[in-house]
């Protein structure tokens, strides 16, 4: 059976930043599950989250394909890896970059470093998949942070992304996100051909993150 993923983007929500990021990471780390569960944290929180939840897979939210030197305000891949990141998001709707940026980053990071490149639509997913990142995550921007899951509002963007990516590469895996909140949304994503989901507020802003995580994993 194909490996399934639930990727939680902490963003910069107050409930998932700093000490709150550590608290949420502990909750995720203590879950007993065979599902690949991933925390995507602010670069400021990488070291602390990795240290308090060493068994949890941790990605950073963005990286820049830069060399050592005069790059004020940019995020160096080697620094993130030193601090414990095993992967990164890139080109999220809230931090868009060029296709060249993604290509250069893929050339710079080690082969075993996970790169999940986000796409706003099928055409962007198709272009990005030709670069062969580890994952392409399709997320319609208008649904991000909303109450309706992409799997209900626009299921064709998920199945369509799966179809175009599969024509280009058998190795690139597909995630979907935007409005994902519960186990039914995750189950539908997998039914549509995705390997899993990328979400944020459904867990980070939940009054009971542990319960929300259990619900997300319950239908896989």
Sign of the torsion formed by the C-alpha atoms of 100, 101, 102 and 107: positive
Rg (CA), the chain: 16
Length of the chain: 220
Q: What is the 8-class DSSP label of residue 45?
A: G
Active site (annotated) includes residue 92: yes
Q: How far apart are the first and last CA of the chain?
A: 11
Which are the contacts of 103, defined by CB distance < 8 A and separation ≥ 6? 131
Which one of the listed residues 22, 57, 62, 92 is annotated catalytic?
92
Cα–Cα dist 34/15, whole Å: 26
Cα–Cα dist 115/88, whole Å: 5
Which one of the listed residues 139, 142, 191, 214 is annotated catalytic?
139
CA angle 201, 156, 165 (to 5 degrees): 90
In degrees to the nearest 10, what's the CA dihedral of 92, 96, 150, 124?
A: -120
Which are the contacts of 102, defined by CB distance < 8 A and separation ≥ 6? 90, 91, 115, 117, 128, 131, 133
Active site (annotated) includes residue 62: no
Q: Give the residue numbers annotated as catalytic, written as ranges.
A: 92, 139
């Amino acid at each position: 059976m194909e490996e399934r993923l639930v990727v939680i983007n902490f963003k910069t929500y107050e409930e998932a930043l700093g000490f709150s990021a550590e608290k949420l990471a502990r909750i995720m780390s203590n879950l007993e599950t065979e599902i690949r569960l991933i925390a995507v944290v602010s670069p400021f929180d990488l070291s602390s989250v990795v240290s308090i939840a060493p068994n949890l897979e941790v990605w950073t939210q963005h990286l820049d394909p830069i060399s050592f030197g005069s790059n004020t305000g940019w995020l160096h891949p080697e620094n993130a890896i030193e601090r414990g990141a095993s992967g990164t998001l890139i080109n999220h709707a809230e931090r868009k970059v060029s296709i060249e940026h993604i290509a250069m980053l893929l050339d710079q990071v080690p082969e075993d470093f996970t790169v999940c490149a986000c796409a706003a639509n099928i055409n962007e997913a198709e272009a990005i998949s030709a670069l062969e990142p580890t994952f392409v995550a399709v997320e319609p921007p208008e649904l991000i942070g909303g109450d309706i899951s992409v799997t209900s509002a626009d299921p064709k963007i998920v199945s369509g992304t799966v179809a175009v990516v599969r024509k280009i590469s058998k190795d690139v895996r597909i995630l979907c996100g935007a409005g994902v909140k519960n186990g039914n949304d995750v189950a539908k994503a997998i039914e549509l051909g995705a390997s899993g989901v990328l979400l944020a507020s459904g867990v980070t802003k939940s009054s009971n993150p542990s319960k929300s995580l259990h619900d997300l994993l319950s239908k896989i």
